[in-house]
Amino acid sequence: MKTAELVKTLTDKPFTAKVIEGPILTESKPDGTKLYTITLLEVKDDVGIARNVRFYVVDEGKVTERAVWKDAVPTETISDKAAGRPVVAEPVV
């Protein structure tokens, strides 16, 4: 996917309240690969955290441009316990 598509995928996630800053170029590798950081506000119930999400871009600005998440696809990080929800244990079988 291209950079714009990756950013839209992140902003469309249900836990993303808003992008605070970015994408900001964090690092540029000798081969032209670029590392970007986006700071977003994640909200669940009455709890919010600012967090950084990083991604690489290869062949930026070219037809072959490709943006990929650094390390893993971002997921919700605020637990139910942190959000003040009761945590129900699964029964042990």
Take residue 41 and report the two structure tokens written for it. Answer: 């506000």
Alpha-carbon distance values, 4 to 36, 48, 67, 83 (Å) = 12, 25, 9, 31
The reported pLDDT for the residue numbered 32 is 94
The model's pTM:
0.82
50-82 pLDDT tens trace: 999 999 999 999 999 999 999 999 999 887 665
Closest CA to 41 of 24, 17, 75, 23: 17
As a whole number of angstroms, the distance between CA 65 and CA 14 comes to 26
- The answer to whether the CB of 29 falls within 8 A of the CB of 69 is no
As a whole number of angstroms, the distance between CA 93 and CA 91 comes to 6
